[in-house]
């Protein structure tokens, strides 16, 4: 899987997730991340802040949520997150190890 690095201007945030109020895939992503030991997820609510959705689309090229970044590495949505986990690469990414 190809990963992309971005600086989102949020210091000391390991996991950043663009999300909305009711989003089943966002909830599944959050559950998976917590199962893998993530305590804090910086959530950016695109339904409450339309300018944040514009930023998300500009950065990712995608309009759907969730859009997930781990250690400034763009992961993608829930499907990509689950794929990383299934391939055994998610924990390394969360620990800051670069597998690219």
Mean predicted lDDT score pLDDT of the chain: 88
**Alpha-carbon span 65 to 37, nearest angstrom:** 22
Q: Considering the chain, what percentage of its residues have pLDDT values greater than 70?
A: 84
Q: What would the two tokens of residue 86 be?
A: 């299934």
> What is the mean pLDDT of the segment spanning 8-31?
84
Question: Dmax over Cα atoms in the chain, in whole Å?
Answer: 35
pLDDT at 68: 98
Instruction: Please say if the pLDDT value at position 11 is more than 80.
Output: no
Answer yes or no: is 73 within a domain. yes
Answer yes or no: is 44 within a domain. yes
> What is the mean pLDDT of the segment spanning 29-43?
96
pLDDT at 2: 46
> What is the mean pLDDT of the segment spanning 41-67?
97
**Alpha-carbon span 69 to 76, nearest angstrom:** 7
Answer yes or no: is 99 within a domain. no
Which stretches of the chain are assigned E, i.e. beta strand? 4-5, 15-19, 42-45, 67-70, 73-76
**Alpha-carbon span 100 to 78, nearest angstrom:** 19
CATH of the domain at 78: 3.40.30.10
- For 77, the domain range is 4-94
> What is the mean pLDDT of the segment spanning 47-70?
97
**What total of structural domains would you count in the chain?**
1
pLDDT at 97: 77
């Amino acid at each position: 899987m190809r990963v992309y690095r971005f600086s989102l201007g949020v210091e000391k945030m390991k996991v950043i997730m663009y999300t909305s109020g009711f989003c089943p895939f966002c909830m599944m992503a959050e559950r998976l991340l917590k199962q893998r030991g993530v305590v804090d997820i910086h959530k950016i609510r695109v339904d409450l802040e339309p300018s944040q959705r514009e930023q998300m689309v500009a950065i990712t090229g995608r309009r759907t949520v969730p859009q997930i970044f781990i250690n400034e590495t763009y992961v993608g949505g829930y499907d990509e997150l689950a794929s990383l986990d299934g391939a055994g690469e998610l924990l390394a990414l969360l620990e800051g190890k670069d597998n690219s």
